[in-house]
Amino acid sequence: MIVVTGGAGFIGANLVRALNARGRDDILLVEDLQDGRKALNLADCRIGDYFDSDEWRALVDGRGVAPEIECVYHLGACSDTTNWDGRMMMANNFAFSRATFEFCVARGIPLVYASSAAVYGTGREFREAPDCERPLNVYGWSKLVFDQYVRRRLPSVTSPVMGLRYFNVYGPREAHKGRMASVALHLHRQLLADGRVRLFGASHGCAPGEQRRDFVHVDDVVDVTLWCAAQPRSVSGVYNCGTGRAEPFNAVARAVLDFHGRGTLEYIDFPADLVNAYQAYTEADLSRLRAAGYAGRLRDVATGVREYLHWLAA
């Protein structure tokens, strides 16, 4: 079996779909479906078994009989960057991940897990190195603490373990994320609602809409994630997962307007309460990922957003 935790979520559902396309449906889906709308992300997918997240936690804690597991993709987490409930965040993003990690390494099971570019905060250098890591919120800190735990344990681990710091992911199967969905989806919905798209005005030394992020299409993220699972123990570690290009929010807006062939772009005042908690620039340094052997091509914003909007239209 292939285990996918968080398998009904944004990246998880796309990963399940990609595994199906490779002929794999022996997938053990692990998910908290208290919000049952997430299940619709898997309406066109096939799985072999389902565990509630509490059932998986009991299993990795030694309460239950584990099936034969080929690989674990650990994507389950609380990804709300505005949530400051530290106990909840650490229980979901650290303790749950630590238990899954220890379960995998004790059995020699390859593990690929989701970290986040949120660990970098407002820095201008995005290398997988401690001197670049200064998170701005408890979400980013919870991800960083687990990365630190993995780094400390890796010298004694004999099975492959790879953590991926996902940058600004967008694409199909993210509608359930609500306000945490990508700017591409929000702009698309704004245009359909009233013919306008809105971005933040000037801030952080940037002209209106010129704040820059590394926007990465979910299909590229899935490709990197699947590649990681096939790598040997020698390349274990934490890696960035983005495009290596910082593109402005204006580029996303242009892609949305161009696709629809109509609409106007407006700028709104930057919220005062976000000034000290906002990443105005991110750009993945892909040196380590490329050196490890990943050679895939990664979509730019114009290409990726156009493909995404075609998917939404269909």
Choosing from 50, 177, 267, 278, the catalytic residue is 177
Cα 307 to chain centroid, rounded: 19
Q: What pLDDT is attached to residue 79?
A: 85
The answer to whether residue 113 is catalytic is: no
Count of CB atoms situated within 10 Å of the CB of 208: 18
Q: Residue 115 in 3-state DSSP?
A: strand
Task: Kindly indicate the confidence band of residue 64, based on its pLDDT and cuts at 50, 70 and 90.
Answer: confident
Name the CATH superfamily housing domain 175-212+246-281+302-313: UDP-galactose 4-epimerase, domain 1 (3.90.25.10)
- Unique residue bearing structure tokens 């584990």: 66
Count of CB atoms situated within 10 Å of the CB of 126: 24
Q: What pLDDT is attached to residue 283?
A: 98
Q: Where are the domains of the chain?
A: 2-168+218-243+284-298, 175-212+246-281+302-313
How many Å apart are CA 240 and CA 148, to the nearest integer?
Answer: 15
Which amino acid, one-letter code, is at 144?
Answer: L
Mean pLDDT for the chain overall:
96
Q: Does domain 2-168+218-243+284-298 have CATH number 3.40.50.720?
A: yes
The answer to whether residue 50 is catalytic is: no
Task: Kindly indicate the confidence band of residue 11, based on its pLDDT and cuts at 50, 70 and 90.
Answer: very high
Choosing from 73, 113, 139, 281, the catalytic residue is 139
Reply yes or no on whether the pLDDT at 209 is more than 90.
yes
> What number is the average pLDDT over the span 146-173?
98
Reply yes or no on whether the pLDDT at 164 is more than 90.
yes
Torsions phi, psi of 244, nearest 5?
80, 10
Instruction: Write down the pTM of the prediction.
Output: 0.96
Task: Kindly indicate the confidence band of residue 65, based on its pLDDT and cuts at 50, 70 and 90.
Answer: confident
